[in-house]
């Protein structure tokens, strides 16, 4: 017996402290605007290792977008540590994200910084 089974898409909304908006897009995973503090380690375009404190602009299951003061190369591998809260207080437990990723896109910004899109290779929430 051959029955027609329609494909169902389920929208799952994840609430994280400080997440301002769930954006609906035709992507494989939802993206949220999230000003979470982050630390990125990598190698810049001059092959100099660096570590920079920054703030995410958005986050999804597949990657994130942030701004850096240094320019990095597309295709470069980076390490990230993200505090998944915008709360000022450091009291109490907070979820954190540790990840390795690949730089997909680098976009010069008007203020001299660089918008950087990173695709996760590995990630772990703890």
- Tens of pLDDT along 9-38? 434 444 444 444 444 444 567 889 989 999
Domain ranges for the chain, please list them. 21-125
Tell me the average pLDDT of the chain.
84
For residue 93, the model assigns a pLDDT of: 86
76-86 as b/e, with b when 16 or more CB fall inside 10 Å? bebebebbbbb
- C-alpha 78/C-alpha 51 separation (Å) is 10
- The CATH number that domain 21-125 falls under is 2.40.10.220
pTM attached to this predicted model: 0.76
């Amino acid at each position: 017996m051959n029955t027609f089974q329609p494909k169902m898409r389920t929208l799952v909304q994840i609430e994280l402290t400080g997440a301002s908006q769930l954006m609906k897009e035709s992507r494989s995973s939802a993206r949220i605007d999230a000003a979470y503090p982050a630390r990125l380690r990598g190698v810049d375009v001059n092959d100099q290792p660096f570590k920079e404190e920054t703030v995410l602009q958005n986050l999804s299951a597949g990657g994130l977008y942030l701004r850096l003061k240094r320019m990095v190369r597309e295709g470069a591998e980076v390490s990230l540590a993200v505090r998944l809260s915008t709360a000022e207080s450091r009291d109490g437990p907070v979820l954190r994200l540790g990840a390795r990723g690949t730089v997909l896109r680098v976009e010069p910004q008007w203020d001299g910084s660089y918008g950087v899109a990173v695709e996760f290779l590995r990630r772990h929430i703890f």
